[in-house]
Amino acid sequence: MKTARLLSIVTYLLNHDIVSAAKLADRFEVSKRTILRDIEQISMAGIPIQSLPGMNGGYSIMEGYKLNGQVISVEDQASIISALKGYISAYDNKHYNEILEKMASILPKHQSQHVFLDFGASGENSEIQNKLHTLDRAIQNKDTVHISYVNALGEVSNRIVEPVALSYRWYAWYLLAFCTTKQDYRVFKLARISELIPAGIVFSKEHGDPLGLLEQAFQGSGRKSYMITLLCKAEARVQICEYLDGTITEIFDNGDFIMCMNSLSDERMWYATLLSFGDKVTVLEPAEVRTRLTETAENILSHYRKQ
């Protein structure tokens, strides 16, 4: 246990510039005194740890030092391979396939894989795959692209954008790009990009940290969300918990329960799922969602009664 902690401390220090004893103690759930003893043992083992005094001081490993590859255990390697296979199931990229081949070649033949990740639903559409490849190349080469984009309301806009990053979340692929028209960063859902053509123009500027920009863009996108309260029937509990990403807040004597869920207003999946449960789920609030469901149900009935 202690040896594993010492290796974890070394790995953590290699991935961070300066880390205080207090932060290390908090991360590894031990006392500061234990961390000080651990640092001393790591230094005695020949790993060059520097101690930096002052308010912003702490510990760091001398720049340029690298660990022997044996620190990554067979189990670690198997986990990395599982993660790579999951990634490739969503985005079939030649570079990551080559990495997978290299990792698999060093894993002992007797080591079996027991965790399997398959995000194939996100990559089964060849059109999405083509968009991913085109945008990936554009990001690597710092080339702008022309896109035609259809928003959630069906409105079409044409833009010249500088692709910065690709992100898979909320069961869909998204592009973070700098919009040359708006002169700001925007997030575009790949499924709503109806046209994607390289523009043959280099980026107008250097872009910062992709992850930071991505989170800022998602938070500042202004997308409306609902906190929805549902009354759910006991007999459909397993299916409701499977398909609705919510939290059960109250359970009644007959097994019926209250579930709360947060959903983006312009995403269709949760709305269609609510409709599919029929009378097994009742929206208690907000009133806006109740009205929307009622109008949709009435329109469906009216349509089929005319048939």
**2-70: what fold?**
Arc Repressor Mutant, subunit A (1.10.10)
Residues 182-224: pLDDT tens digits? Answer: 899 999 999 899 999 999 899 999 998 888 888 888 776 666 7
- Bridge partners, residue 188, by sequence: 175
Query: 286 and 233 in contact (C-beta within 8 Å)?
Result: no
Residue 134's pLDDT is 93
Q: Which residues are CB-neighbours of 215 under 8 A, at least 6 positions away?
A: none
pLDDT digits (tens, 9 = 90+) for 52-69: 888 888 998 887 765 555
198 vs 134: CA distance, rounded Å: 8
Query: What is d(CA 24, CA 20) in angstroms, rounded to the nearest whole number?
Result: 6
| Token pair for 97 | 């396939």
Distant-in-sequence, close-in-space partners of 258: CB < 8 Å, separation ≥ 6 = 229, 230, 231, 232, 248, 249, 250, 251, 284
The helix or strand, by DSSP H or E, that contains position 264, with its residue range, turns out to be: strand 257-264
pLDDT score at 233: 96
Tokens for 91, please give them: 């985005």
**Cis peptide leading into residue 286 (ω within 30°):** yes
Q: Where along the chain do the CATH 1.10.10.10 domains lie?
A: 2-70
Q: What DSSP element (H or E) covers 233? A: none
Confidence label for 275 from pLDDT (cuts 50, 70 and 90): very high
Q: Minimal CA–CA distance to 42: which of 78, 12, 84? A: 12
* Region of residue 256 (phi > 0: left; psi between -120 and 50: alpha; otherwise: beta): beta
- Write the CATH number of the domain with boundaries 126-219: 2.30.30.520
Q: What is the pLDDT of residues 281-290, one digit of tens each?
A: 999 999 999 9
User: Which pair of tokens denotes residue 293?
Assistant: 């469901």
Q: What is the C-alpha radius of gyration for the chain, rounded to an integer number of angstroms?
A: 26
pLDDT in tens, 118-135: 666 555 568 888 899 999
**Cβ contacts of 279 within 8 Å, gap of 6 or more:** 233
28-39 pLDDT, tens digit each: 888 998 999 889
Length of the chain as a residue count: 307
Residue intervals of the chain classified under CATH 3.30.70 are: 225-305
Domain 225-305 coded CATH 2.60.40? no
**Between 116 and 163, the higher pLDDT residue:** 163
Residue where the block lists tokens 């409709």: 275
Q: How many CB atoms lie within 10 A of CB 43?
A: 14
